[in-house]
Structure 1
Amino acid sequence: MSFRLAVCAEMVYGELPLIERVQRIHEQGFEVELWDTRGRDIQALAATGAKFSSMSGYFGGSVIDSANSHEVLASAEKLIPTALELGVERMVVHPAELGEGGRAVRPTYRSTGEMWLTGLRTLEKLGELGEKHGITFALENLNTILDHPGIPLARAKDTHALVHAVNHPNVKMMLDLYHAQIGEGNLIEAVRSAQSEIGEIQVADVPGRFEPGTGEINYPAIAKALREAGYAGVIGMEAGAVGGHGIEAGDAALAAFRASFT
């Protein structure tokens, strides 16, 4: 059983313009993940011929905050034409709003029942929106120890619980194993328990957030567990190259990523 492998164009080949990064990733047989597509040349991205597995699915509001969850829905609807033009399968959302550098816009260190209920209702509405347009919304887990302090309900077990409760085919998890390792560990059990609710998996090694094989995570063992569980979806490398932003370092990182999952 083979996986579909994707690479986040925002984190490798940093010395190249985005379009050239996408082309290079595509030429090596990978699908492409994107972050914020606003201000990008969407026609030029589409003309690369790349297959885009995911992109950011909102640009305002919080899934779990009743005061502004409507902003998530409104911004998602504005991004859908871009997703359709690029053929994107998944639009990624986070439990709460991220600002510059991935920091929490409104840091909160305690979750409440209202947050759970608001998250459930917001994701249900995103599911309806996704069903209308043939797109899946993927809720990504985050770590709050290193990269994203102040984001409630960000652990993999929390995002899994929300997606499971929504129970909609157009709402899935973006299971990020880099974040899960920092915040929770027990990665093989995480992929096994959430398998039916996973829309896409993202990987990077710990520490450093570089390509698989540069840190403590045993990605070949995780690949074996995924095959045994029957997962045949997308695995995306959302990681920098340990060798830097150059072309050779990026090529080496992509080769190491491929080797970990084939």
Structure 2
Amino acid sequence: MPRFSVCVEMIFRHLPFIERLEATSKSGYDAFEFWQWQDKDIGAIAAEASRLRLKVAAFGVGPNIAGGTLVDSSNHDAYLATMRMAIEHAKRLDCQTLIVTTGNEIAGLSRAAHFDALQRGLERVAHAAAEDGVTMVVEPLNTRVDHAGYFLDHGADAFRIVREIGHPNLRVLYDIYHMQIMDGDLISTIESNIDLIGHFHVADVPGRHEPGTGEINYANVFHRIDATSYAGHVGLEYRPSGDHAASLAGVKALA
């Protein structure tokens, strides 16, 4: 069974944020993740995670998906400053994985120029992360349903740029929900690029609900991930279609 992490931004979202951690623990899970840190009480999260013996699997550099863009070279210094603050919070939370998004396309800029700026930005991100032993995972997102205008929207592009940079502190966050919408060919892609994957996200298609509610054969996907060398977490980043705790039990049954 994969090492699951509960995304408490989407699961147990009806509860006050800090109470979501105990709900995660009571559901039989030992890891969680969240999105941006800027609106969180990091001290409270650290204390509650320690009390419950929960692992903070990942969180986002932020501040949001569209902003803080890495495809704009004039923004790189500001992004690195935000990233360094995120790393300090990661140390406090004993978290080794931070999520990077590329930002939206810039009008009038060629695709080649976007990629050039992104590569230079990610190189800086990787070197800065290495100083503190943190892994940065860059996430391609779908632009057909959820994130119109986002730049990095295909897995092949993410794997290519991370492979070209070739830094051990830079990996891809492979979100199976997003990449099913954009690319398909999930298992082959995962197995061919497992050395470059630093984190997974899962949800089913359509609807972004829990695995087992849509078209993806998650029993097979989980089995094939288990058969690889992957030792990281698989983040459950879905909207429960019904009872939240019951959906988490269903994921374990499926795996």
TM-score normalised per structure 1 = 0.89
For the 8 Å contact 2:37–2:61, the answer to whether it is kept is no
Equivalent residue for 2:247, pick from 250, 253, 256: 253
Cα offset, 1:197, TM superposition? 0.5
Structure 1 residues 39 and 149: CA distance shift in structure 2, 3 A: closer
Structure 1: give runs of 5+ residues left out of the alignment. 97-103, 244-248
What displacement does 1:201 show? 0.6
Query: What residue number does 2:127 align with?
Result: 128
**Identical-pair percentage:** 34
Is the aligned partner of 1:61 residue 2:68?
yes
Q: Which deviates more from structure 2 when the two are superposed, residues 211-220 or residues 228-237?
A: 228-237
Measure the CA separation in 1 of the matches of 2:210 and 2:89: 29
Deviation at 1:30, TM superposition (A): 3.1
Is 1:168–2:167 an aligned residue pair?
Answer: yes
For 1:138 and 1:83, locate their aligned partners in 2 and report how far apart those are by CA, in whole Å.
14
In structure 2, what is the Cα distance between the partners aligned to 1:223 and 1:108?
Answer: 39
Asked if residue 80 in structure 1 is aligned to residue 87 in structure 2, the reply is yes
Say if 1:19 and 1:44, in contact at 8 Å, map to a contact too.
yes
Instruction: Say whether the 8 Å CA contact 1:95–1:154 is kept in structure 2.
Output: no
Q: Does the CA contact (< 8 Å) of 1:110 and 1:152 recur in 2? A: no
Q: Secondary structure at the match of 1:68?
A: helix
Q: Deviations over 1:92-150 (max 9, x none)?
A: 11121xxxxxxx4x665985222212111111111111111111110011001010111
Q: Which amino acid is the alignment partner of residue 232 of structure 2? A: G
1:227 aligns with 2:231: no
C-alpha separation in 1, matches of 2:207 and 2:196 = 28
Deviations 1:217-245 (A, max 9, x none): 001111122123232321111001101xx
Q: Name the CA distance, whole Å, in 2 between partners of 1:132 and 1:115.
A: 26
Q: Specify whether residues 39 and 152 from structure 1 end up closer, same or farther in structure 2 by C-alpha distance, changes over 3 A only.
A: closer
Equivalents in 2 of 1:221, 1:4: separation in Å? Answer: 16
Question: Which range moves more in the overlay, 60-69 or 121-130?
Answer: 60-69
Q: Does 1:70 align with 2:77?
A: yes
Matches within 5 A, 1:200-219: 200-219=199-218
In structure 2, the gaps of 5 or more residues are none
Change (3 A) 1:110 1:85: same
| Residue of structure 2 in register with 1:41 after alignment | 41
Equivalent position of 2:195 in the other structure: 196
Counterpart-to-counterpart distance in 1, 2:86 and 2:228:
33
Separation of aligned partners in 2, 1:108 and 1:241 = 36
- CA apart distance, 1:205: 0.4
2:124 maps to 1:117: no
- Measured in 1, the distance between the counterparts of 2:108 and 2:9 equals 29
Contact 1:95 1:153 in 2 (8 A): yes
Deviation at 1:72, TM superposition (A): 1.8
Q: Secondary structure at the match of 1:229?
A: coil
Does structure 1 retain, via aligned residues, the 8 Å contact 2:2–2:225? no
Number of residue equivalences: 247
Secondary structure of 1:116 counterpart:
helix
Please tell me the residue identity of whatever aligns with 1:131: A
Task: Give the aligned partner of residue 10 of structure 1.
Answer: 9
Cα RMSD (Å) of the superposition?
A: 1.7
- TM-score, structure 2 length as denominator? 0.91
Report the Cα distance in structure 1 between the residues aligned to 2:3 and 2:85, rounded to whole angstroms.
28
The corresponding residue for 1:236 is 235
Cα deviation for residue 167 of structure 1 reads: 0.9
For 2:108 and 2:237, locate their aligned partners in 1 and report how far apart those are by CA, in whole Å: 26
**Cα 1:111–1:226 shift into 2, 3 Å:** farther
Partners of 1:175 and 1:185 in 2: how far apart?
A: 12
